[in-house]
Amino acid sequence: MSKSKKVMIGILCVVLVIGIVASILIYNDRKKIFCVEEKSNLAMGTVVTFKIYDDNETNLVPTLNALIDSLEKTISRRIEGSPVYNFNINSKCGNDIVADVVKRCQTVSQLSAGAFDLSIGRVSSLWNFDGETNEIPDDVEIANALKSVDYEKLSVDGEVVSAEKGQQLDLGAVGKGLACDFIKRYLVEAGVKGAVISVGGSICAFGSRNKANDEWRIAVKHPRESGKILGVIKLKEGFVSTSGDYEKYFEKDGKRYHHILDARTGYPAESAIESVSVVCSDGMISDALSTACFILGVEDSRPLLERYDASAVFVDSSGKISVIGEIDFEEAK
């Protein structure tokens, strides 16, 4: 073998090894997780978990908690003096956030034929799922309260929301998703690399945890088997909202009374759905859609999801999983 050939082979070997080492270093660098600010705490009457990723350490959680508190003081119907609290007394309030939510939710109400309706406040108060009683309200009382439920009678004029006397708002179905919207807006402005946030199980995800721009993996809780997951939704960016009959409920005479009320009947929805997770590009809408889809069931939800370019994973009472729309869902083994 000639000397030049030997040198060539030698150089090739060195180049090859350098190539391999460089590829591994680049791979490790791209997969290296950014600095993460990770915290769970209580806010808005629920558990909020933050995972915020950036090149350097951040300290944004206190500000975000304050943001959530301020939002709660606007949309809670239980906090004295909040715009929604005042609305439920005076049938009128002036607040840009409430006005925006009511206006956008009216469209969801319309598209769900009234199954989802923010003016369900009086019926929600009767069921009082947050309270101690766990009693089924009286039929007559429900029928009376139901008379006040009508999204068409809510009117929005600029920042002013008004209603017929006796109508009451309950923004509970969309509050967590709305908080996700606020958090995302703040974090995008702050310029962080990425974040995945859970406000009581409603998820907001954007950016990435590493330079490889790996997608987020959002697990969906199993509606019946505690501690287990149903599967994983993969997404680059978006919001995931879940409505299920397994969180807030009580049982009476062998029947489960869960907290998702059908605004057309005033009773817990009977669509034979145990859980539905909606993926959408807007947090508040994602929350509204998951409630509406839970009440409507798989087939009646299709047009609604299409209208918002959203997708969903349903689980019915037989355990059957239905995936609607373009969603990367992998069932757990």
Partner 1 sequence: MKLILKKQSDFIGIKKGDILIVAFLLAVCTALFIFPILKSNDSKTAVIILDGEVVETVELLPQESKKLEVGNCVLIIENGTVHFEEASCPDKLCIKSGCLSNVGDTAACVPNKVVVTIEGKNKNNYDMVAY
Closest CA to 74 of 152, 217, 182, 151: 182
Candidates 8-16, 92-100, 112-120, 138-146 — which segment interacts with partner 1 by CB under 8 A?
Answer: 8-16
Considering beta carbons, is residue 3 or 165 the nearer one to partner 1? Answer: 3
Question: Residue written as tokens 């350097």?
Answer: 56
Q: What are phi and psi of 148, to 5 degrees?
A: -85, -5
Q: How many residues bind partner 1 (CB under 8 A)?
A: 52
Angle at 283 between CA 163 and CA 242, to 5 degrees: 100
Q: Under the criterion CB under 8 A, does residue 277 sit at the interface with partner 1?
A: yes
Considering beta carbons, is residue 102 or 203 the nearer one to partner 1? Answer: 203
- 41 contacts 65 by C-beta, under 8 angstroms: yes
Considering beta carbons, is residue 61 or 113 the nearer one to partner 1? Answer: 61
Q: Could you tell me the two tokens for 76?
A: 């809670």
Least distance between partner 1 and beta carbon 110 (Å)? 26
Question: Residue written as tokens 């799922």?
Answer: 129
Q: Under the criterion CB under 8 A, does residue 5 sit at the interface with partner 1?
A: yes
Considering beta carbons, is residue 132 or 157 the nearer one to partner 1? Answer: 132
Those residues with Cβ within 8 angstroms of residue 27's Cβ, 6 or more apart along the chain or in another chain: none
Report CA 56 to chain centroid distance, whole Å: 28
Question: Residue written as tokens 């607040």?
Answer: 95
CA-CA-CA-CA torsion sign (39, 41, 46, 47): positive
Q: Under the criterion CB under 8 A, does residue 303 sit at the interface with partner 1?
A: no
Considering beta carbons, is residue 303 or 319 the nearer one to partner 1? Answer: 319
3-state secondary structure of 92: strand
Candidates 69-77, 93-101, 197-205, 262-270 — which segment interacts with partner 1 by CB under 8 A?
Answer: 197-205
Pairing state of beta strands 229-235 and 216-221? Answer: antiparallel
Candidates 13-21, 79-87, 95-103, 152-160 — which segment interacts with partner 1 by CB under 8 A?
Answer: 13-21
Considering beta carbons, is residue 98 or 284 the nearer one to partner 1? Answer: 284
3-state percent breakdown (helix, strand, coil) of the chain, nearest 5: 40, 30, 35
Q: Under the criterion CB under 8 A, does residue 17 sit at the interface with partner 1?
A: yes
Closest CA to 58 of 179, 186, 201, 199: 186
**Contact flags string 214-253 toward partner 1, x per CB under 8 A:** --xxxxxx----xx-x--xx------xxx-x-xxx-----
**Other CB atoms within 10 A of residue 49 CB:** 15
Considering beta carbons, is residue 98 or 179 the nearer one to partner 1? Answer: 179
Q: What are phi and psi of 295, to 5 degrees?
A: -75, -40
Candidates 2-10, 101-109, 163-171, 261-269 — which segment interacts with partner 1 by CB under 8 A?
Answer: 2-10
Considering beta carbons, is residue 251 or 309 the nearer one to partner 1? Answer: 251
Q: Could you tell me the two tokens for 123?
A: 């019926």
Those residues with Cβ within 8 angstroms of residue 108's Cβ, 6 or more apart along the chain or in another chain: 116, 285, 288, 289, 292, 304
Q: Under the criterion CB under 8 A, does residue 12 sit at the interface with partner 1?
A: no
Least distance between partner 1 and beta carbon 44 (Å)? 10
* Contacts to partner 1 from residues 57-96, by CB under 8 A: none
Q: Under the criterion CB under 8 A, does residue 188 sit at the interface with partner 1?
A: no
Question: How many Cα atoms are found within 13 Å in the side-chain-facing hemisphere of 41?
Answer: 13
Q: Under the criterion CB under 8 A, does residue 15 sit at the interface with partner 1?
A: no
**Contact flags string 251-270 toward partner 1, x per CB under 8 A:** --------------------
Which residues here bind partner 1, judged by CB under 8 A?
Answer: 1, 5-6, 9-10, 13, 17, 20-21, 24-25, 28, 38, 40-42, 45-47, 49, 51, 129-132, 196-198, 201-203, 205, 209, 216-221, 226-227, 229, 232-233, 240-242, 244, 246-248, 277
